Structure 1
Amino acid sequence: MKCRLSLWLVLCLAPALFPQMAHAHVKWFVDDSHAFTEAGYFFDSLFAFILTGAFLFVAAASLLQRHARQNIRSYDFLYAPVSKLWMKNPSRYINTLLKFSLGILLLANLLQGHFIAPNFVRDGGSFEYALVQALLILLLIVDVSLFALALFVFSLSLFLLFPIASAIDYAPELIALSIALFFTSPRYAEGRLNMNFFGKQYRIQHRSLAVGIVQFGLGLQLIILTFHDKLLHPGYGLAFLHEYPVFNFPHYFGWHSFTNTHFVFGAGMAELCFGVLLVANIAPRIASLLIVIIFTLTGIVLGPEELLGHVPIIAMALVLLLTPLPGFAAPEAQLDSQLLPD
């Protein structure tokens, strides 16, 4: 009992050891980061404190998952789909949620004159970019499976039409969304994929495959953004905090030694932890819950642009929160049950 209580205490407190206001796309709000191009990290005791907090958080999540292998209640808490309580067909709700989030994103970009995101680099061709997004919206209305295929091709083409440094911040997320939409569309949702691994035959529900793709894609996107926009290039985060100093909330508690550099590093470590948990399928429901809370809060603080831009990420996290990818080691009493019911 004491061990379990200590585990929960560490799990709850560890995220507080580093800043929770992690911003996936800080470039949306930064006009110029050149003033911070020489910025770097100089490790001190606070950096060690942040690293310790990140390690404790991942370790606690790993211990909780290990405990869930022998305990059905813990396993249900981490992996049992909530959607089965109020919806008979999870595939329909997953498809609707992801489709709705992408529709909002495309329509918002079209109306605001953006392409993919506010900061996305584009050299002319505004009409062509608007036309592409309008056609995607039309396909989304007409046939979601065709839209998914078009979005998949469109996502891959970003690497050919734009610099990798721009495409890498969005392509993994869009590719995962397109595949998940395809496998949960009405035409293919009830199918199964037959696969052979090491001489063993596996039958994977399309819905389970879609959830796995969403989880891996979201985790990979967070990891990429962590290194690309924060850990390797802290100038973007520092420029953001220069324009929005309110986010370095430790200052309001008199913790002035917690500099903007510490905050950028802490935000990066937070996103990295979430991404690692999702990619490794370690307590994904916990990571998803924190992602939903954090991105919703930052959307409220920063306004519609932040919230609308991150709607697909919030939708992906909600899917994983309500219908997480089943664990690979279920308790014996649950091995014969169907974790993602039809």
Structure 2
Amino acid sequence: MARFFLPAVLFALFSGGAHAHVKWFSEPTAAVSDAGFTHSEIIAALLLLLILLAVARWLNAQVAKRGAAHCAPWFHDTKPLGYAFLLLSIYFLGCAFSGFILAPHVAATKGVTALCIGLQATVSILLLLNRAQMFMAGLISSLFVVASVADVTFLLEYVLLLGLAWLVYSTQRIPNEPTMMILRSALGISLVGLALTEKLLQPELAMNVLQQYPLNFMAHLGVPFSDKWFVLAAGMVELLIGLLLMLGWLVRTTILVLLALMIASNSYFLMVENHALALMEFIGHLPVFAAGILLLCYSSTVTRNARELALQSRSAITTEQRLSAESGH
């Protein structure tokens, strides 16, 4: 139960709307006053982040000590991969029908957009058929390059798509451990990038969204929690989750919390009956859900180094016990 403590606290504190993509919903509004963070707020947030990382590292080591059964992948068949490909197919088809390139905020010329719509529809069909994997991976990578030229921050925020392109290229039946490490790291980098570009380095973007949509549930509960603090908290939680995935600590638990946050942010738009934004949020988050399914089912819950240390520790204890028993006889 200890390994669920840290993510559960994060979910309880910062769930609703924290992971809605700011650039998808931010509309030009009046300038937000007092949007920047003070030095004391930044220092306090960084200290808390370091403490939580230290706790996560300790919990990760405790999980590793419980044995290989708690660290091994959950699935050894192709069903989760098929579900992930289905979600990705819906994502690319949704992007094509919506008329944008991989993300709602990416803008390009009409000719480039039309070409990319066709390419996205092609990727969607190939994913359903599970054919021409090298060609598919090339198309996804090409779309990523086009989107990155249109928006340079896309390079950092959507590295996950490159991880998924590698997965498509390299996996025939069951993803191997290096592929899962690449996918996990790519998802972590994307979350860190989004935390920095949409919240921590440009808090005014997120605060504009809060002016348009009452996502700050803490204020509605009567807690004196300003929109600026909410943005800082959401950004730090996203940063923490990204770092945990990059480090390979508490992978499954972290993924479960991440998916719960995604569902919470999407549920908000359904509750306020803004179905267009709910659909946009759903389509945009499908690559994260696909990666989450794969990491839950095929990835180890802790890093290889932690497992090796735990195995070495148990081996040393077993050897010591055997020698002690022999000396007793």
Check whether TM > 0.5: yes
Alignment of 1:224-235 (within 5 A): 224-235=193-204
Amino acid at match of 2:143: F
| In the alignment, structure 1 residue 69 sits paired with structure 2 residue 58 | no
Structure whose alpha-carbon radius of gyration is higher: 2
Amino acid at match of 1:321: L
Shift of 1:37: 8.4
Q: CA 1:71 to 1:121, structure 2 compared with 1: closer, same or farther past 3 Å?
A: same
Alignment of 1:97-136 (within 5 A): 97-125=83-111, 126-136=113-123
**1-structure distance, mates of 2:4, 2:104:** 40
Deviates more, 1:52-61 or 1:62-71: 52-61
| In the alignment, structure 1 residue 248 sits paired with structure 2 residue 246 | no
**2-structure distance, mates of 1:214, 1:324:** 10
Per-residue CA deviations over 1:195-252 (Å, capped at 9, x if unaligned) read xxxxxxxxxxx5212211110110010001111111000011101111111x211112
Q: Which among 192, 206, 212 is matched to residue 181 of structure 2?
A: 212
SS at match of 1:164: coil
Shift of 1:33: 5.5
**1-structure distance, mates of 2:314, 2:136:** 36
Structure 2 spans left out of the alignment, 5+ residues: 270-277, 316-329
The number of residue pairs the alignment matches comes to: 299
Amino acid at match of 1:255: V
Per-residue CA deviations over 1:294-338 (Å, capped at 9, x if unaligned) read 1012112222221121011022122212222352232329999xx
Q: Which among 128, 143, 152 is matched to residue 141 of structure 2?
A: 152
Q: CA 1:96 to 1:37, structure 2 compared with 1: closer, same or farther past 3 Å?
A: farther
Matching residue of 1:31:
27
Q: Which among 168, 177, 180 is matched to residue 164 of structure 2?
A: 177
Amino acid at match of 1:168: L
Matching residue of 1:192:
none
SS at match of 1:105: helix
Does the aligned pair in 2 maintain the 1:183–1:209 contact within 8 Å?
no
**2-structure distance, mates of 1:216, 1:315:** 15
Matching residue of 1:200:
none
Q: Which among 221, 237, 256 is matched to residue 270 of structure 1?
A: 237
Shift of 1:48: 6.7
Does the aligned pair in 2 maintain the 1:33–1:236 contact within 8 Å?
no
**1-structure distance, mates of 2:93, 2:212:** 28
**1-structure distance, mates of 2:263, 2:229:** 23
Shift of 1:283: 1.3
Shift of 1:158: 3.6
Matching residue of 1:15:
10
Shift of 1:290: 0.5
Matching residue of 2:191:
222
Shift of 1:147: 1.2
Q: CA 1:60 to 1:314, structure 2 compared with 1: closer, same or farther past 3 Å?
A: same
**1-structure distance, mates of 2:72, 2:4:** 22
Does the aligned pair in 2 maintain the 1:24–1:222 contact within 8 Å?
no
Matching residue of 2:303:
327
Per-residue CA deviations over 1:135-177 (Å, capped at 9, x if unaligned) read 3223334515131232234324443x4231344332x111000
Matching residue of 1:163:
151
Give identity over the alignment, percent: 23
Shift of 1:51: 4.9
**1-structure distance, mates of 2:90, 2:161:** 14
Does the aligned pair in 2 maintain the 1:156–1:175 contact within 8 Å?
no
Pick the structure with more helix per residue.
2
SS at match of 2:229: helix
Shift of 1:268: 0.4
Matching residue of 2:266:
299
Q: CA 1:132 to 1:37, structure 2 compared with 1: closer, same or farther past 3 Å?
A: farther
Deviates more, 1:140-149 or 1:212-221: 140-149
**2-structure distance, mates of 1:254, 1:49:** 23
Q: CA 1:224 to 1:67, structure 2 compared with 1: closer, same or farther past 3 Å?
A: same
Matching residue of 1:80:
72
Question: TM-score normalized by structure 2?
Answer: 0.80
Does the aligned pair in 2 maintain the 1:94–1:184 contact within 8 Å?
no
Question: TM-score normalized by structure 1?
Answer: 0.77
Deviates more, 1:93-102 or 1:108-117: 93-102
Does the aligned pair in 1 maintain the 2:87–2:287 contact within 8 Å?
yes
Does the aligned pair in 2 maintain the 1:24–1:225 contact within 8 Å?
no
Alignment root-mean-square deviation, CA: 2.9
**1-structure distance, mates of 2:79, 2:252:** 18
